[in-house]
Protein backbone atom coordinates (compact mmCIF):
# COMPACT_ATOMS: atom_id res chain seq x y z
CA UNK A 1 0.00 0.00 0.00
CA UNK A 2 2.69 2.50 -1.02
CA UNK A 3 0.17 4.66 -2.92
CA UNK A 4 -0.70 7.95 -1.23
CA UNK A 5 -3.70 10.25 -1.84
CA UNK A 6 -3.61 13.77 -0.41
CA UNK A 7 -0.61 12.79 1.71
CA UNK A 8 -2.32 9.78 3.33
CA UNK A 9 -1.66 6.12 2.50
CA UNK A 10 -4.20 4.19 0.43
CA UNK A 11 -4.78 1.87 3.39
CA UNK A 12 -6.23 4.81 5.32
CA UNK A 13 -9.06 5.19 2.79
CA UNK A 14 -9.69 1.44 2.59
CA UNK A 15 -9.88 1.26 6.39
CA UNK A 16 -12.20 4.29 6.47
CA UNK A 17 -14.66 2.73 4.01
CA UNK A 18 -14.53 -0.58 5.89
CA UNK A 19 -15.26 1.11 9.24
CA UNK A 20 -18.18 3.07 7.76
CA UNK A 21 -19.69 -0.11 6.29
CA UNK A 22 -19.23 -2.09 9.53
CA UNK A 23 -20.79 0.68 11.65
CA UNK A 24 -23.70 1.15 9.20
CA UNK A 25 -24.46 -2.59 8.99
CA UNK A 26 -24.18 -2.92 12.79
CA UNK A 27 -26.67 -0.09 13.41
CA UNK A 28 -29.02 -1.31 10.67
CA UNK A 29 -29.10 -4.92 11.94
CA UNK A 30 -29.42 -3.76 15.54
CA UNK A 31 -32.34 -1.51 14.60
CA UNK A 32 -34.07 -4.38 12.77
CA UNK A 33 -33.71 -6.85 15.61
CA UNK A 34 -34.24 -4.30 18.39
CA UNK A 35 -37.89 -4.23 17.27
CA UNK A 36 -38.01 -8.02 17.55
CA UNK A 37 -36.19 -8.05 20.91
CA UNK A 38 -38.53 -5.41 22.31
CA UNK A 39 -41.64 -7.36 21.34
CA UNK A 40 -40.25 -10.62 22.74
CA UNK A 41 -38.91 -9.12 25.98
CA UNK A 42 -42.07 -7.14 26.71
CA UNK A 43 -44.11 -10.22 25.77
CA UNK A 44 -42.32 -12.38 28.33
CA UNK A 45 -42.56 -9.62 30.95
CA UNK A 46 -46.32 -9.62 30.35
CA UNK A 47 -46.50 -13.43 30.44
CA UNK A 48 -47.05 -13.96 26.71
CA UNK A 49 -44.88 -15.15 23.85
CA UNK A 50 -44.56 -12.23 21.43
CA UNK A 51 -43.88 -12.98 17.72
CA UNK A 52 -43.81 -16.76 17.11
CA UNK A 53 -45.13 -17.58 13.63
CA UNK A 54 -42.67 -15.92 11.20
CA UNK A 55 -39.62 -18.14 11.32
CA UNK A 56 -38.33 -20.01 14.37
CA UNK A 57 -39.68 -18.16 17.42
CA UNK A 58 -40.52 -15.25 15.10
CA UNK A 59 -36.91 -14.50 14.09
CA UNK A 60 -37.98 -13.49 10.58
CA UNK A 61 -40.57 -11.00 11.87
CA UNK A 62 -38.39 -7.86 11.29
CA UNK A 63 -37.80 -8.96 7.67
CA UNK A 64 -41.53 -9.56 7.15
CA UNK A 65 -42.32 -6.13 8.63
CA UNK A 66 -39.76 -4.47 6.36
CA UNK A 67 -41.13 -6.17 3.23
CA UNK A 68 -44.70 -5.24 4.22
CA UNK A 69 -43.83 -1.56 4.74
CA UNK A 70 -41.82 -1.45 1.50
CA UNK A 71 -44.81 -2.60 -0.57
CA UNK A 72 -47.51 -0.61 1.23
CA UNK A 73 -49.20 2.20 -0.68
CA UNK A 74 -47.67 5.67 -0.30
CA UNK A 75 -50.31 8.22 0.67
CA UNK A 76 -49.45 11.93 0.73
CA UNK A 77 -52.17 14.21 2.14
CA UNK A 78 -53.47 16.57 -0.55
CA UNK A 79 -53.09 19.63 1.71
CA UNK A 80 -49.62 18.72 3.00
CA UNK A 81 -46.56 20.90 2.35
CA UNK A 82 -45.01 18.26 0.14
CA UNK A 83 -41.34 19.29 0.19
CA UNK A 84 -41.16 19.49 3.99
CA UNK A 85 -43.37 16.38 4.29
CA UNK A 86 -40.93 14.33 2.19
CA UNK A 87 -37.80 15.84 3.76
CA UNK A 88 -38.79 15.27 7.41
CA UNK A 89 -38.13 11.47 7.57
CA UNK A 90 -34.61 11.99 6.17
CA UNK A 91 -33.81 14.74 8.67
CA UNK A 92 -34.99 12.48 11.50
CA UNK A 93 -33.06 9.39 10.35
CA UNK A 94 -29.70 10.62 9.04
CA UNK A 95 -28.36 12.29 12.25
CA UNK A 96 -28.91 9.04 14.16
CA UNK A 97 -26.53 7.24 11.79
CA UNK A 98 -23.85 9.88 11.26
CA UNK A 99 -23.40 10.39 15.01
CA UNK A 100 -21.50 7.09 15.00
CA UNK A 101 -18.67 8.77 13.08
CA UNK A 102 -17.08 10.04 16.31
CA UNK A 103 -17.86 7.17 18.70
CA UNK A 104 -14.83 4.89 19.38
CA UNK A 105 -16.00 1.26 19.35
CA UNK A 106 -12.57 -0.31 19.92
CA UNK A 107 -8.88 0.34 20.37
CA UNK A 108 -6.16 0.17 17.70
CA UNK A 109 -5.79 -2.99 15.60
CA UNK A 110 -3.04 -3.85 13.12
CA UNK A 111 -3.87 -5.00 9.58
CA UNK A 112 -1.10 -5.72 7.05
CA UNK A 113 1.35 -3.72 9.15
CA UNK A 114 -0.95 -0.68 9.24
CA UNK A 115 -2.49 0.42 12.55
CA UNK A 116 -6.20 1.22 12.40
CA UNK A 117 -8.14 2.91 15.22
CA UNK A 118 -11.65 1.47 15.55
CA UNK A 119 -13.32 4.86 15.23
CA UNK A 120 -14.53 6.22 11.90
CA UNK A 121 -13.33 9.81 12.27
CA UNK A 122 -9.85 8.93 13.56
CA UNK A 123 -6.34 8.51 12.20
CA UNK A 124 -3.28 6.77 13.67
CA UNK A 125 -0.10 8.82 13.29
CA UNK A 126 2.70 6.27 12.94
CA UNK A 127 5.41 8.91 13.43
CA UNK A 128 4.07 10.05 16.82
CA UNK A 129 2.44 6.73 17.74
CA UNK A 130 -0.92 8.15 18.76
CA UNK A 131 -4.53 8.39 17.59
CA UNK A 132 -5.99 11.66 16.34
CA UNK A 133 -9.76 12.05 16.27
CA UNK A 134 -12.21 14.97 16.21
CA UNK A 135 -11.23 16.89 19.33
CA UNK A 136 -14.76 18.28 19.73
CA UNK A 137 -16.59 14.96 19.38
CA UNK A 138 -19.01 15.76 22.22
CA UNK A 139 -20.05 19.03 20.53
CA UNK A 140 -20.54 17.11 17.27
CA UNK A 141 -22.91 14.72 19.05
CA UNK A 142 -24.91 17.58 20.58
CA UNK A 143 -25.15 19.27 17.18
CA UNK A 144 -26.41 16.11 15.46
CA UNK A 145 -28.98 15.45 18.17
CA UNK A 146 -30.29 19.01 17.72
CA UNK A 147 -30.78 18.47 13.98
CA UNK A 148 -33.01 15.46 14.62
CA UNK A 149 -35.55 17.74 16.31
CA UNK A 150 -36.22 19.51 13.01
CA UNK A 151 -37.35 16.27 11.36
CA UNK A 152 -40.01 15.68 14.00
CA UNK A 153 -41.20 19.31 14.00
CA UNK A 154 -41.34 19.43 10.19
CA UNK A 155 -43.28 16.18 10.09
CA UNK A 156 -45.87 17.55 12.51
CA UNK A 157 -46.24 20.89 10.74
CA UNK A 158 -46.12 19.74 7.11
CA UNK A 159 -48.81 17.04 7.46
CA UNK A 160 -51.57 19.64 7.89
CA UNK A 161 -53.17 17.51 10.59
CA UNK A 162 -54.07 18.84 14.03
CA UNK A 163 -52.88 15.68 15.81
CA UNK A 164 -49.58 15.77 13.92
CA UNK A 165 -49.11 19.46 14.68
CA UNK A 166 -49.74 18.86 18.38
CA UNK A 167 -47.21 16.02 18.35
CA UNK A 168 -44.64 18.23 16.60
CA UNK A 169 -45.14 21.06 19.13
CA UNK A 170 -44.79 18.64 22.02
CA UNK A 171 -41.64 17.15 20.48
CA UNK A 172 -39.97 20.53 19.99
CA UNK A 173 -40.64 21.64 23.57
CA UNK A 174 -39.68 18.27 25.02
CA UNK A 175 -36.45 17.80 23.08
CA UNK A 176 -35.22 21.34 23.67
CA UNK A 177 -36.02 21.15 27.39
CA UNK A 178 -34.29 17.85 28.05
CA UNK A 179 -31.37 18.61 25.75
CA UNK A 180 -30.33 21.33 28.19
CA UNK A 181 -30.25 18.94 31.15
CA UNK A 182 -28.38 16.30 29.10
CA UNK A 183 -25.78 18.91 28.09
CA UNK A 184 -25.32 19.89 31.76
CA UNK A 185 -24.65 16.23 32.59
CA UNK A 186 -22.00 16.10 29.86
CA UNK A 187 -20.38 19.32 31.16
CA UNK A 188 -19.64 17.62 34.48
CA UNK A 189 -17.79 14.85 32.61
CA UNK A 190 -15.91 17.46 30.59
CA UNK A 191 -14.84 19.14 33.84
CA UNK A 192 -13.18 15.90 34.97
CA UNK A 193 -11.54 15.06 31.64
CA UNK A 194 -10.61 18.50 30.33
CA UNK A 195 -11.28 17.31 26.77
CA UNK A 196 -14.16 16.90 24.32
CA UNK A 197 -12.39 14.08 22.44
CA UNK A 198 -14.36 10.87 22.90
CA UNK A 199 -11.33 8.59 22.40
CA UNK A 200 -9.50 10.52 25.15
CA UNK A 201 -12.53 10.26 27.46
CA UNK A 202 -12.53 6.47 26.95
CA UNK A 203 -8.76 6.34 27.55
CA UNK A 204 -9.14 8.16 30.89
CA UNK A 205 -11.56 5.44 32.06
CA UNK A 206 -9.21 2.54 31.29
CA UNK A 207 -7.62 1.98 34.71
CA UNK A 208 -8.56 0.54 38.11
CA UNK A 209 -10.51 -2.41 36.73
CA UNK A 210 -13.58 -0.36 35.87
CA UNK A 211 -13.64 1.88 38.95
CA UNK A 212 -12.39 4.79 36.81
CA UNK A 213 -15.69 4.77 34.91
CA UNK A 214 -17.48 8.09 35.22
CA UNK A 215 -20.58 6.14 36.21
CA UNK A 216 -18.95 5.86 39.65
CA UNK A 217 -17.36 9.32 39.68
CA UNK A 218 -20.45 11.11 38.33
CA UNK A 219 -23.46 8.90 39.20
CA UNK A 220 -25.87 11.84 39.26
CA UNK A 221 -24.69 13.05 35.84
CA UNK A 222 -25.04 9.50 34.47
CA UNK A 223 -28.60 9.24 35.80
CA UNK A 224 -29.52 12.66 34.40
CA UNK A 225 -28.03 11.92 31.00
CA UNK A 226 -29.76 8.55 30.68
CA UNK A 227 -33.22 9.83 31.67
CA UNK A 228 -32.89 12.95 29.51
CA UNK A 229 -31.79 10.76 26.60
CA UNK A 230 -35.02 8.77 26.90
CA UNK A 231 -36.93 12.05 26.60
CA UNK A 232 -34.75 13.15 23.66
CA UNK A 233 -35.61 10.03 21.64
CA UNK A 234 -39.30 9.96 22.68
CA UNK A 235 -39.11 6.67 24.56
CA UNK A 236 -41.52 5.66 27.33
CA UNK A 237 -42.29 7.24 29.76
CA UNK A 238 -41.62 10.34 27.62
CA UNK A 239 -43.41 9.33 24.40
CA UNK A 240 -45.71 12.38 24.53
CA UNK A 241 -45.11 13.41 20.86
CA UNK A 242 -46.72 10.13 19.70
CA UNK A 243 -49.10 9.35 22.59
CA UNK A 244 -51.42 6.97 20.72
CA UNK A 245 -54.17 7.30 23.33
CA UNK A 246 -54.35 11.09 22.82
CA UNK A 247 -52.89 11.99 19.41
CA UNK A 248 -53.54 8.90 17.23
CA UNK A 249 -49.82 8.59 16.36
CA UNK A 250 -48.70 12.18 16.87
CA UNK A 251 -46.30 13.61 14.31
CA UNK A 252 -46.31 10.39 12.22
CA UNK A 253 -50.11 10.13 11.93
CA UNK A 254 -50.16 11.01 8.21
CA UNK A 255 -47.11 8.93 7.23
CA UNK A 256 -47.29 5.49 5.61
CA UNK A 257 -45.12 2.95 3.83
CA UNK A 258 -41.35 3.59 3.86
CA UNK A 259 -41.66 7.13 5.24
CA UNK A 260 -43.32 5.71 8.33
CA UNK A 261 -40.61 3.03 8.43
CA UNK A 262 -37.91 5.70 8.35
CA UNK A 263 -39.35 7.37 11.47
CA UNK A 264 -39.62 3.95 13.09
CA UNK A 265 -35.97 3.23 12.20
CA UNK A 266 -34.93 6.67 13.49
CA UNK A 267 -36.38 5.93 16.94
CA UNK A 268 -34.46 2.68 17.31
CA UNK A 269 -31.30 4.06 15.68
CA UNK A 270 -31.43 6.88 18.21
CA UNK A 271 -31.77 4.31 20.98
CA UNK A 272 -28.60 2.57 19.71
CA UNK A 273 -26.78 5.91 19.43
CA UNK A 274 -27.81 7.09 22.91
CA UNK A 275 -26.70 3.77 24.40
CA UNK A 276 -23.37 4.06 22.57
CA UNK A 277 -22.85 7.64 23.81
CA UNK A 278 -23.69 6.64 27.41
CA UNK A 279 -21.29 3.71 27.13
CA UNK A 280 -18.53 6.03 25.89
CA UNK A 281 -19.06 8.75 28.50
CA UNK A 282 -19.89 6.73 31.60
CA UNK A 283 -19.14 3.01 31.11
CA UNK A 284 -15.54 3.16 29.92
CA UNK A 285 -16.39 2.70 26.25
CA UNK A 286 -14.74 -0.41 24.84
CA UNK A 287 -12.51 -0.95 27.90
CA UNK A 288 -12.63 -4.32 29.64
CA UNK A 289 -10.48 -7.23 30.78
CA UNK A 290 -7.69 -8.32 28.37
CA UNK A 291 -8.38 -5.60 25.76
CA UNK A 292 -4.70 -4.60 25.86
CA UNK A 293 -3.64 -8.14 24.91
CA UNK A 294 -6.57 -8.89 22.57
CA UNK A 295 -7.70 -5.63 20.88
CA UNK A 296 -10.66 -7.29 19.15
CA UNK A 297 -12.26 -7.83 22.57
CA UNK A 298 -12.87 -4.05 22.67
CA UNK A 299 -15.79 -4.05 20.19
CA UNK A 300 -17.26 -7.09 22.00
CA UNK A 301 -17.33 -5.23 25.33
CA UNK A 302 -18.67 -2.11 23.62
CA UNK A 303 -21.54 -4.00 21.95
CA UNK A 304 -22.35 -5.87 25.18
CA UNK A 305 -22.67 -2.58 27.10
CA UNK A 306 -24.78 -1.00 24.34
CA UNK A 307 -27.14 -3.99 24.25
CA UNK A 308 -27.47 -3.98 28.04
CA UNK A 309 -28.54 -0.31 27.99
CA UNK A 310 -31.01 -1.03 25.19
CA UNK A 311 -32.47 -3.80 27.35
CA UNK A 312 -32.90 -1.26 30.17
CA UNK A 313 -34.77 1.05 27.76
CA UNK A 314 -37.10 -1.83 26.83
CA UNK A 315 -37.52 -2.77 30.49
CA UNK A 316 -38.56 0.80 31.30
CA UNK A 317 -41.14 0.70 28.50
CA UNK A 318 -42.65 -2.49 29.94
CA UNK A 319 -42.76 -1.02 33.45
CA UNK A 320 -43.62 2.69 33.53
CA UNK A 321 -46.73 4.60 32.43
CA UNK A 322 -46.54 7.77 30.34
CA UNK A 323 -46.06 11.13 32.05
CA UNK A 324 -48.64 13.87 31.70
CA UNK A 325 -47.37 16.81 29.69
CA UNK A 326 -47.30 19.21 32.64
CA UNK A 327 -45.37 16.60 34.66
CA UNK A 328 -42.91 16.25 31.80
CA UNK A 329 -42.19 19.98 31.66
CA UNK A 330 -42.03 20.28 35.45
CA UNK A 331 -39.50 17.45 35.66
CA UNK A 332 -37.32 18.92 32.91
CA UNK A 333 -37.26 22.59 33.95
CA UNK A 334 -37.78 22.52 37.72
CA UNK A 335 -35.93 19.32 38.66
CA UNK A 336 -33.38 18.15 36.10
CA UNK A 337 -31.90 21.52 35.05
CA UNK A 338 -31.41 22.78 38.67
CA UNK A 339 -29.96 19.39 39.67
CA UNK A 340 -27.62 19.47 36.65
CA UNK A 341 -26.42 22.97 37.58
CA UNK A 342 -25.94 21.92 41.22
CA UNK A 343 -23.92 18.90 40.10
CA UNK A 344 -21.63 21.17 38.04
CA UNK A 345 -21.07 23.46 41.05
CA UNK A 346 -20.29 20.53 43.38
CA UNK A 347 -17.98 18.97 40.76
CA UNK A 348 -16.15 22.30 40.40
CA UNK A 349 -15.68 22.67 44.17
CA UNK A 350 -14.45 19.10 44.62
CA UNK A 351 -12.11 19.37 41.59
CA UNK A 352 -10.65 22.61 42.98
CA UNK A 353 -9.80 21.15 46.38
CA UNK A 354 -8.67 17.73 45.07
Q: Measured between alpha carbons, how far is 220 from 242 in angstroms, rounded to an integer?
A: 29
Mean pLDDT of the region 209-232:
92
Span of 2-6, 56-60, 85-89 with lowest mean pLDDT: 2-6
Is the pLDDT score of 322 beyond 80?
yes
Kindly report the average pLDDT of the chain as a whole number: 89
Please tell me the distance from the alpha carbon of residue 252 to that of residue 2, in angstroms, as a whole number. Answer: 51
The 10s digit of each residue's pLDDT in 183-219 is 999 999 999 999 999 999 999 998 777 788 999 999 9
3 pLDDT band, cuts 50/70/90, is low
* Residue 1 reports pLDDT greater than 50: no
Res 223 pLDDT > 80: yes
- Say whether pLDDT at 125 is over 80: no
Question: pLDDT tens digits, residue range 232-264?
Answer: 888 889 988 777 767 777 788 889 888 989 998
The pairs formed by 312-319 with CB atoms below 8 angstroms and a separation of 24 or more are 313/230, 313/235, 313/271, 313/275, 314/37, 314/38, 314/41, 314/42, 315/41, 315/45, 316/230, 316/235, 316/236, 316/237, 317/38, 317/42, 317/235, 317/236, 318/41, 318/42, 318/45, 318/46, 319/45
The pLDDT of residue 14 is 86
- The 10s digit of each residue's pLDDT in 262-286 is 998 999 999 999 999 999 999 999 9
Q: What is the DSSP-derived secondary structure letter of residue 81?
A: -
Residue 295, C-beta contacts closer than 8 angstroms, at least 6 positions apart: 106, 107, 108, 109, 118
2 — pLDDT class (breaks 50, 70, 90): low
Decide: 256 and 74 in contact? Cβ < 8 Å.
yes
Q: Tens digit of pLDDT for each residue in 148-184? A: 888 888 998 998 888 888 888 888 889 888 999 999 9
What SS3 class is residue 282?
A: helix
| CB-CB contact of 32 with 55 (8 Å) | no
**SS3 assignment for 52-77:** CCCCHHHCCHHHHHHHHHHHCCCCCC
Q: Is 245 exposed, middle or buried (0-12, 13-18, 19+ CB in 10 A)?
A: exposed
Give CA separation, 278 vs 3, 26, 154, 171, 330, in Å: 39, 17, 28, 22, 24
pLDDT at 15: 86
Number of neighbouring beta carbons within 10 Å of residue 88: 28
Residue 21's pLDDT band (cuts 50, 70, 90) = very high
d(CA 215, CA 210): 10
Amino acid sequence: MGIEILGLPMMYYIAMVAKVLVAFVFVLLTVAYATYAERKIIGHMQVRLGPMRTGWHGLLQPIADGVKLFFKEEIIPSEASKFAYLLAPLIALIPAFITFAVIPFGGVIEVAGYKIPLQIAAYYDTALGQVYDINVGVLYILAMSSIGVYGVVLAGWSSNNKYSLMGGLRASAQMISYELAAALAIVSVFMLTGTLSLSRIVELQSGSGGFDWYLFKQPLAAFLFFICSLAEINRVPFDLPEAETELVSGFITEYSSMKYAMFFMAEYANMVTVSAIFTTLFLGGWNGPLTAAIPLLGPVYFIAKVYFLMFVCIWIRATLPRYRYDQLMHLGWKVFIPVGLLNIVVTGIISYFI
